[in-house]
Amino acid sequence: MKRLAALLLVVSLVAVPAAGQTMTTIDADHELTTDAAKASFEQDGVATTSLTAPDVTITIASELSQCGVEDWTVSDVRNDFVCLEYGEEVDRTLRFFVPNEYWHPYVRETVDPVHGDVTASFDPVEDSEYTAVELPRRTRGNMRH
């Protein structure tokens, strides 16, 4: 059963952002699109990819605790979670695609985080093969969606 996704963001070490960039489009150029990652999510309820440019780790999890967060007010029953951990200050909009094997693509604008202060938008793309997740420019801080 495919569920809607909530977004969790964790900001860690801060470095200098890339100059002159206003949007980073990762799109489908990450390990979450591989058959191995999809199988890991299906079997274990979690799949992760780490990128170097920007320095960010993206995790798709079926339980909030798999993102390192314990919050009894957020239900795992109806939600899957997108967890981001930044290793740098991201001073630009970030966009990446999540394959439809993780959840059914849907439209949702300005989704508030489970914890933090940066919203996210979800939008089906490429004939609903993916959900585009877009996070606006941000400054330093801790966030969990």
Residues near 26 by Cβ (< 8 Å), separated by ≥ 6? 51, 94, 95, 96, 97
> pLDDT digits over 46-102, tens only?
999 998 888 888 999 887 777 777 665 555 556 778 888 877 776 778 899 999 999
Residues near 93 by Cβ (< 8 Å), separated by ≥ 6? 22, 23, 24, 134, 135, 136, 137
| Mean pLDDT calculated for residue range 24-28 | 88
Cα distance between residue 90 and residue 35, in whole Å:
29
DSSP symbol at 31? G
pTM: 0.76
Cα distance between residue 85 and residue 74, in whole Å:
19
Look up residue 28 and give its amino acid. A
- Domain locations along the chain: 4-14+24-135
